[in-house]
Amino acid sequence: MTFPRILPVGDAALVVEFGDEIHPDIHRRVLALDHALAADPFPGLRETVPTYRSLLVYYDPRQLSWDEARRLVANALARSTDTPMPEPREVEIPVVYGGEFGPDIGFVAAHTGLSEEEVVRLHTSVTYTVYMLGFAPGFVYLGGLPEALATPRLPTPRPSVPAGSVGIAGLQTGIYGLSTPGGWRLIGRTPLTMLDLNRQPPTLLQPGDRVRFVRIG
C-alpha cells in the first residue's frame, strides 16, 4: 500500500488515509490536510473528521461527483504540505487521581508493578497530543502515554462512566466527555466541563492540542 491514498466512502464522502499506524508524523499530515481544507474550503465541502491516520471528508453529491471531489481533495493535499500550521494550543487539565474518582488506579498500579503514587507521577510527567475526538460526544483520545503505564481495558465495560473521567486503555489515555458506558481503566477525574453543548466549539479540546495533566485535590 502506498500512502496517502484517497478512497471512496459511499456516495457522499471520501477518506484520505495517511498510513496504517499511530504515529505523530502521520497524525500531523492528517491535521495539515484538515487545516488546508478549513482555510480554503471548496464549494460542496460539508464536514471533515480527523482521526489518528485518516481524514474523512463529507461532500455534497449534488454539487460534486466523486472524480471532482477526489481532484479537489488531491489539490488540497498537495497544498497542505506547504500551508503553515498554527502553533498547537497547550492546555492543562486538572485531575483528582484515585479514590472514588479513579477506581481502577489500584489495578493499574498492580498491573504495571508501580505504586499508585508512581502512576500519578508518570501520568502527569509528559505532554500528550489530542489525536481525535470520537466514538461518543466529546471523548478525547490522547497519544503519548508512557509505555510503563500501558494497561488493558476492562473485560466488561461499565454501564456508565461519569463525564470527565480519565482512563487508560492499552497505550492510550483518554477523557470521557459525556457520561457513557465505557471499558477504559479509570485513574482519575477532571472537574472541567469537557463537552458543553451551548459552546462553540462544543468541546474544550480539539485535535492537535497539547495536553498536560496536573494533579489536584
Stretch that binds another protein, among 49-57, 80-88, 100-108, 151-159 (CB under 8 A): 49-57
Residue 164 as a binder of another protein (CB under 8 A): the answer is: no
119 neighbors 109 (Cβ within 8 angstroms) = yes
Would you give the binding string for another protein spanning residues 135-154, x where CB under 8 A is met?
A: xxxxx-x-------------
Report how many residues bind another protein under the rule CB under 8 A: 47
The residue from 28, 42, 44, 58 that contacts another protein (CB under 8 A) is 58
Say how many Å lie between the first and final Cα of the chain, rounded: 49
Residue 11 as a binder of another protein (CB under 8 A): the answer is: yes
Q: Where are the beta strands (DSSP E) in 60-147?
A: 90-97, 128-133, 140-143
Residue 51 as a binder of another protein (CB under 8 A): the answer is: yes
Residue 183 as a binder of another protein (CB under 8 A): the answer is: no
Q: Is the peptide bond before 159 cis (omega within 30 degrees of 0)?
A: no
d(CA 127, CA 181): 27
The residue from 41, 152, 201, 217 that contacts another protein (CB under 8 A) is 201
The residue from 29, 35, 37, 50 that contacts another protein (CB under 8 A) is 50
- Cα dihedral 72, 87, 148, 172 sign: negative
Compare residues 13 and 142 and give the one whose CB is closer to another protein.
13
Compare residues 98 and 138 and give the one whose CB is closer to another protein.
138
160 phi and psi angles, rounded to 5 deg: -150, 125
Q: Segment 115-134, which members bind another protein (CB under 8 A)?
A: 132-134
How many Cβ atoms sit within 10 Å of the Cβ of residue 96? 17
Q: How many residues does the chain have?
A: 217
**Smallest distance, Å, CB 85 to another protein?**
16
Distances (CA, A) of 177 to 3, 26, 184: 32, 25, 13
Residue 73 as a binder of another protein (CB under 8 A): the answer is: no
**Smallest distance, Å, CB 180 to another protein?**
7
Residue 103 as a binder of another protein (CB under 8 A): the answer is: no
Q: Cβ contacts of residue 163 below 8 Å, gap of 6+?
A: 138, 176, 177, 178, 179, 193, 194, 195
Residues in touch with another protein (CB under 8 A): 7-15, 17, 20-22, 46-56, 58, 61-62, 65-66, 132-139, 141, 177-178, 180, 195, 197, 201-203, 207
